[in-house]
Structure 1
Amino acid sequence: MSRPFTKPAMTIAQQIAHLTAQGMTVPNAPVAEHWLRHVSYYRLSAYWLPFEHPKGQAGPRFVAGTNFQTIIELYEFDRHLRLLILSAIERIEVAMRGSWAYALAHAGGPHSYLDASLYSDRRHFHDNLSRLAREVGTSPETYIDHYRRTYDDPAMPSVWMVAEMMSFGQLSRWYSLLDDRALRSQIAQPFGLSETVLVPLLKHLSTVRNSCAHHARLWNRGFLIRMKLPNKPASLAATLAPLAGAGPARLYNSLVLIWYLLMQVDPASNWQADMKALLATHPTADLAAMGFPVGWEQRPLWL
């Protein structure tokens, strides 16, 4: 039995009328038209979802007092949140690229990453290598082109070159696949975390980074790729919030771990203060939806 999609396209005027009819206050129609035209109804709908009654409930769609201006402010808060997180992850990512390349280069030479015996799963290693080789073959980067024109043995560039061109997600996969725990620990050492914590954390942060880079809603998102919470140092453990069951991970612990990593790779960073200032501007002050525990401001890494 077919299930056809029957929702019609609406003009912007119809979108405003529809929101108003469903119980949302639209105090300034020209402002609403601007946002619906330049951001879109569908993208903004992710930000008014928390203000909706449960589906199937009789009456208006939106809870009393829902205002289009609040939706705009929440969207802007989320946009600034993504930019602030992306700036931090960029520094962490660059540091991780350098640590991975340095450790491998000194463990076995500039091309040691090509040694299949270093990895715990040969099939996954060859999958990663095939993907990387395709990117090297089509890369427009000057340093990759120089290597292709100058050398042919090995065909792949040195580890410090490929470290600069692979995605953060790729980097986390290459790192996690290393079979030698001592080598993984050496790479993790500059970050002040054990490799058992850093491996899943990088996978998680790669997902967070992609949400930021693709302009996706972030503030109250749940992440299926969870992290492992460290139990040391004590200040970090005391700042984290216990994971709630097996459900998606919320953003609070991600922010704590991002700040902890930043303290290792950029000790002069003002990121924590900038984040606290941004959190103070949340339009509804609903930080619980982000996983923030009561009294979070008094936990060690936020002081």
Structure 2
Amino acid sequence: MSDVVLKPPTTYEKQIEILRSRGLIISDEASALSVLKRVNYYRFTAYALTFKQNDEFFTNTTFERIYRHYEFDSLLRQHLMKVIEYVEISFRTHISYTIAHNYGPDGYEDETMFNNNTWCKDFNEELCRNIAKSKDPFVIHHISKYSGKFPVWVAVEVLTFSWLSKLFKNLKSKDKKEISKHYNLRYEEISNWLHVLTIVRNRCAHYSRLFNQKLPISVKFKRQDKTKDIKENQLYAMIFNLKYLVTDSSTWNTWVIGLESIIEAYNDVDLRLLGFHEEWKLQLKKC
């Protein structure tokens, strides 16, 4: 039995008192209470870390300012999911197309398709688990009509983005090169970016904080971009490289305009804490 004693729970009113005792300015208590009744105190105070030291808030820090950072983060997550969806669907298409035409509709069942033969078993076991728990009509259809046989272009649709990333990584080099040609990229870059994107996507999907939160792995850059002074472990590094994965210029530029709108509406947010370069608008523009 653990001897660790957890903190006792606090009321919403007590949470207000704690924040005030640490120097946070709360001018509209009713509004602050409304926020804390909807947004977990622990989640809210994660955004306060930027504005305090040793549990004391910096002078003139307001509850409203911290909440604006929370709102900004929420909108950024939603906006990122739009472009990640584009990339994810694109890779499901290109990966399944390449496997189907090079190895046949059920080529993923053959260990010789993979760079690491032993990974074939892990992949197919994961695929079976996802099929077994899926209630999607297309899965039920293939189970009943094709005795549970799934062509690769159907199979990839039940994979998580994380496993799609792993699938790409474990393909033979010639197949990764074939897929990479669609993006005019090296497969080493794509493999790294897909891995990073699975992390960003999971943070977005689970409403985790993006603001002032470093990435657990470093983002790789194209050779010509390594001199741009972009921090490799912050969110902007991945946003910058997303422009190479979104091959349609119109789609990308429309997404960037949406990003600009969010940033302009929350111009008190310090973008440097997300790794944004001072020339980010110019850097993200796609001709």
Matches for 1:151-190 after TM superposition, within 5 Å: 151-152=146-147, 155-178=148-171, 180-190=172-182
Matches for 1:57-68 after TM superposition, within 5 Å: 61-68=56-63
Bigger drift between 216-225 and 16-25 goes to 216-225
Specify the alignment match of 1:203 in structure 2.
Answer: 195
Q: Does 1:127 align with 2:119?
A: no
Q: CA RMSD in A?
A: 2.1
Per the normalisation by structure 1, the TM-score is: 0.88
SS in structure 2 at match of 1:120: coil
Q: How far does the alpha carbon of each residue in 1:6-38 deviate from its partner, in whole angstroms, 9 at most, with x for none?
A: 311110000001100110001101100110001
Q: Does 1:214 align with 2:206?
A: yes
Specify the alignment match of 2:111 in structure 1.
Answer: 116
- Cα deviation for residue 240 of structure 1 reads 5.0
Q: 1:267 aligns with which of 236, 243, 250?
A: 250
1:266–1:101 CA distance, 2 compared to 1 (3 A): farther
| In structure 2, distance between residues paired with 1:189 and 1:266 | 17
Instruction: Give the number of equivalent residue pairs.
Output: 286
Q: Does 1:17 align with 2:17?
A: yes
Contact 2:115/2:173, CA 8 A, preserved across alignment = no
- Cα deviation for residue 3 of structure 1 reads 4.9
Unpaired runs of 5+ residues, structure 1, are none
Bigger drift between 133-142 and 74-83 goes to 133-142
Q: How far does the alpha carbon of each residue in 1:133-167 deviate from its partner, in whole angstroms, 9 at most, with x for none?
A: 11112321111111111223xx4411000111111
| In structure 2, distance between residues paired with 1:80 and 1:138 | 31
Contact 2:100/2:107, CA 8 A, preserved across alignment = yes
Q: How far does the alpha carbon of each residue in 1:196-250 deviate from its partner, in whole angstroms, 9 at most, with x for none?
A: 1001110100100110010011122111122211125xxxx27954446xxxx10
1:301–1:5 CA distance, 2 compared to 1 (3 A): farther
| In structure 1, distance between residues paired with 2:14 and 2:286 | 46
Unpaired runs of 5+ residues, structure 2, are none
Matched residue type, 1:293: H
Per the normalisation by structure 2, the TM-score is: 0.92
| In structure 1, distance between residues paired with 2:40 and 2:28 | 17
| In structure 2, distance between residues paired with 1:143 and 1:6 | 47
| In structure 2, distance between residues paired with 1:297 and 1:45 | 30
Specify the alignment match of 1:86 in structure 2.
Answer: 81
